[in-house]
Amino acid sequence: MKNSKRQQWGLVFLIAVQVAVLLLFFASKKGYFIDEIYSWGLSNSYYKPFVVSYDVFERWVEGPEFLEYMTVGPGEGFSYGSVWYNQAQDVHPPFFYMLLHTVCSFTPGVYGNWQAMVLNVAFYAGCLLMIFLTARLLTGDKCLAVAAMMLWGFSPGGLSTGIYIRMYMLATFLTVVSVYLHVKMIRDGQGLPRLAGICLATFLGLLTQYYFVFIAFFLSGFYVLWKLGKRRWKEAAVYAVALFASVGAMACAFPACIAQLTRTDEFVAAETRNNLAGGGIVRNLISYISNINMDFFGGWIRETAVAALAVGGYCLWRLWKRKKAKVALRPEDEAALILTLAVGFSFFAVSWIAVVPGARYIYNLYPLMVILAIWWVVRITGWCIENPKELLGLHLGMAAFMAVLYIGGYMRGNVQYLYPENEERTELAAQYRDLDCIYIDNYENAPLTQDLIELSGFSGVYIMPKERIGQIREILEGRPRGKGLIVYVDTNEFWSSGYDAREIMEHLQEETGFENCRKLYSHELSETYLLE
């Protein structure tokens, strides 16, 4: 009894250490990806899903007004109808945004890292626990389960999942919950509580991120095929009906999902359908393999592959020497093989249709890849090598090798979404906070969202298309100009207006009479200048 409690507290301690590492990285976060700002805005903006939903064009807007988009206003706390409405206008389901809105509702008028950190840390810790439980079921060994947990938790990929202020950490947690319950059912039987848990995880997973459908579909499909192979027709039918019901319940709860997935006037939905023709699969596969390289192998995937081939060759040689070695499949092994197929097909499906080849779309597969890596290594080496000491030495050597790769990944900056370069940009914006800002933008939402926090620090902001530059003297009439003028130019051709910044600035100098033009900084969607 005492030994069991000691092990439980040891597990809690290891999870706490990994959470502490996540918090250390979280504390060094200096900026946000545009989608992270959308997270706050879509969660908290009262029935106004986007910045352009506000009256921000062609009038002077006081900088702090922009933060209304990201914060809960007075009397607007716990307004889940607003969250539901905003997400119906967006391209994602609402569950994550409802949770973030709940946290933000306790601090109206405030936004901060800690609001998202509360959610991400909770689901990160929960994910660590579920990885441990799942790996323990598959391997039957607590030490190997701890290894799987730490292999994901300390990886740059796992930490990036926890740092990113979006729905992917929640989707990852729900994915591992579903996988754990499936493994339990394969090993211990299809009980009603486990089936109900899988249905709930599927319902909430689809209500969190549409890409959850891939692992849900393939895991369910191979599970049903396994049941049919065992001639358990009734169990297969009950399971299939229950899973289809959970999908139907999600569609009934958020009927806007149908319009979001079929609309023709929205870029992401349209490009997703276009990708069904397979045009982007090679690009995406290369990108995702590159992501996995950085997230787990520190950029040394070729060297890792060579080492893996060497170990594999050694194991095959040892297996050949045994000659009479027999391989018997346990229920846990069948579960691992089902999971291997589900992860492989899911990875291929995401690569097939993803519009943007970002690692975030496969983050929920990372814990499963780690669990399976542990299982495959242990089973293959165990089948091939009889000597326990030799086996332990091989496993410890592999663990040390991965630790070196992880440390190298930290040093190379492979933990994502920290944006250390943003600190200089934020300081520059703060330096000129008493100036007015002209934002040249053709009524596009994306660049304004990206630059929202910086814009909130200026005295006044006037947003207009380049066609209005000829009226700039009238626009600046009565405004203080002695110290200069900040100018943002929307420059991205793919996501927004695609203006030529040099042409814009030359035109503005001619119209305003400012003698000097100095570029302060640039971002993915815009460039920023100082006229003085």
pLDDT at res. 268:
66
pLDDT at res. 425:
83
Considering only CA atoms, give the Rg of the chain.
26
Does residue 373 contact residue 138 with C-beta atoms inside 8 Å?
A: no
Residues 95 and 236 in one domain: no
The pLDDT tens digits for 351-392 are 888 877 789 999 999 999 999 999 998 888 877 777 788 778
Q: Phi, psi (5° rounding) for residue 210?
A: -65, -30
Q: Name the pTM for this structure.
A: 0.94
Q: Which of 72, 87, 111 is the last residue of a domain?
A: 111
Residues 427 and 298 in one domain: no
pLDDT at res. 267:
64
- 417 domain residue, yes or no: no
pLDDT at res. 373:
94
pLDDT at res. 380:
81
- 416 domain residue, yes or no: no
pLDDT at res. 398:
84
The single-letter code of the amino acid at 148 is A
Pairing of strands 485-490, 60-62: unpaired
Instruction: Describe the strand order of the beta sheet including 526-531 as a list of residue ranges.
Output: 60-62, 460-464, 436-440, 485-490, 526-531, 517-522
Our count of domains for the chain comes to 3
Of 124, 123, 125, 165, the closest CA to residue 29 belongs to 165
Cα(116)–Cα(110) distance, integer angstroms = 12
Residues 462 and 477 in one domain: yes
pLDDT at res. 326:
57
Residues 154 and 250 in one domain: yes
pLDDT at res. 426:
83
**Phi-psi sector, 498: left (phi>0), alpha (psi -120 to 50), beta:** left
Residues 213 and 336 in one domain: yes
Q: Return averaged pLDDT per consecutive 10 residues of the chain, 532 residues in all.
A: 80 96 95 95 97 96 94 96 96 97 96 93 98 96 95 97 97 98 96 96 98 97 96 96 97 93 68 64 87 90 78 68 62 93 95 85 97 91 75 83 91 94 84 94 95 93 96 92 91 89 95 92 92 93
Of 378, 365, 399, 444, the closest CA to residue 178 belongs to 365
Residues 249 and 397 in one domain: yes
Q: Which domain holds residue 331?
A: 2-27+118-411
Q: Which of 111, 138, 171 is the last residue of a domain?
A: 111
Residues 430 and 392 in one domain: no
Of 32, 36, 66, the closest CA to residue 426 belongs to 32
Residues 99 and 190 in one domain: no
pLDDT at res. 272:
66
Q: Which of 111, 138, 165 is the last residue of a domain?
A: 111
